[in-house]
Amino acid sequence: MPSAGLLLQALASGVFLGALYGLIGLGVGLGWGLLRQINLSHFAWVFLSAYITYELKTRLGVDPLISLLFLVPLFGLLGMAVQALLARFAITPFNSLLVTFGITVSVEALLQWIWSADFRRMASFYDEHKFRLGSVVVTYSEALTMGMALLAVGLAWWMLHRTDMGKSVRASAEDPAIATAFGIHAKRLAIWVAGFCAALAACAGVCVALTFTLAPSQIFAWVGVVFAVVMVGRLGSALTPLIGGLVIGISESMTMALIAPTWAPLVAFTVLILILLLRRGDE
């Protein structure tokens, strides 16, 4: 029988991994639900942000949290520019998948050209220091990831539910024609939403750099599980990606601790299938 210490530590690992899934999934889910775009380039922005964080820290000694001050506006503008381009050519949801896949492949090549395909690991204060919650060890980087995920979810929820702009975005996603009739400028709002999603990718990138070993090809390793997180939650929702992330993160981690690590990748998709089946039953 595994000890209580092992189970608690595995649970904690799942919670923190799930928070990161949720943070990445939030950006993907908002774009998908509110803009009707399956934005694969979100994963590319996450890793581009992670590599820039790594570079700033290793070359210039910039603290990853300080680099957020620069990365969030930069990626916000980048997301807005890409959205403006997609809108200019009236890209359909399916074509957005192809276009953003192309962007992702290009970014992967760019990362490989600049940083080579070899693995990179950023040493930081946040990963080297840890604290204990009972018998559970938590690194500062994990706590930071959790904090950032909660902050991002809270901010997204507040914006969508408590601001006029957020209400307009939801209305536009619900029925674009009626929203336009009420004077809502859907294209302009879409640019702001895309900017917000890309800014979230920048935050997630910092968390990835803090916790994981980087390699350009890793971009695609996150796609499957994050899509599962997004689908477990609900598209366009601020809260459910984090819940989906936690469900999948904890399930994966407990499977590793109790059964075998080799079963863990199946868990995300088994959970997804079960939830989709149960939801179908609800309808």
Partner 1 sequence: MQKRPFLKALGSSLLLSSTPTWLHAQNKPIRVGSTLSLTGPLAGTAVMHKISGEIFIEQLNKRGGLLGRQVEWVVKDDQSKPDLARTLYEQLISGDQVDLLMGPYATANSLAAMGVAQRNGKVLITNSFGIPSLAKYDMHFPAYVMGIDPGTTVPNTLLDSIAASGAKPQSVAMVTSKFPSVVFLSVGAREVFKKRGLREALWLEWEFGNREFGPIASRLKEANADMVWIGSIGAESMQLLEAMNKIDYKPKIHFHVYPTPGPLTKSPLAANALTLTTFEQHAPFTNNPAYAEAIKMYNERAAKANLPDTVFELQAANAFTGWQFLEAGVKGSGSLEDSKIAAWLKKNHVDTIIGKVRLDGPNNYGDDLNRIKQLQGGKWLVIHPKEVAFPGSKMMF
- Binding residues for partner 1, per CB under 8 A? 2-3, 5-6, 9-10, 12-13, 17, 108-109, 112, 115-121, 123, 127, 130, 137, 139, 212-213, 215, 217, 221-222, 252-254, 256-257, 260-262, 264-265
CB of 130 or CB of 187, closer to partner 1: 130
CB of 168 or CB of 255, closer to partner 1: 255
CB of 66 or CB of 221, closer to partner 1: 221
Question: How many CA atoms does the CB half-sphere of 113 hold within 13 Å?
Answer: 6
Least distance between partner 1 and beta carbon 120 (Å): 7
Least distance between partner 1 and beta carbon 138 (Å): 9
Least distance between partner 1 and beta carbon 277 (Å): 25
Least distance between partner 1 and beta carbon 257 (Å): 4
CB of 158 or CB of 263, closer to partner 1: 263
CB of 129 or CB of 161, closer to partner 1: 129
CB of 87 or CB of 223, closer to partner 1: 223
Least distance between partner 1 and beta carbon 3 (Å): 6
Least distance between partner 1 and beta carbon 240 (Å): 22
Residue found under tokens 């070359």: 59
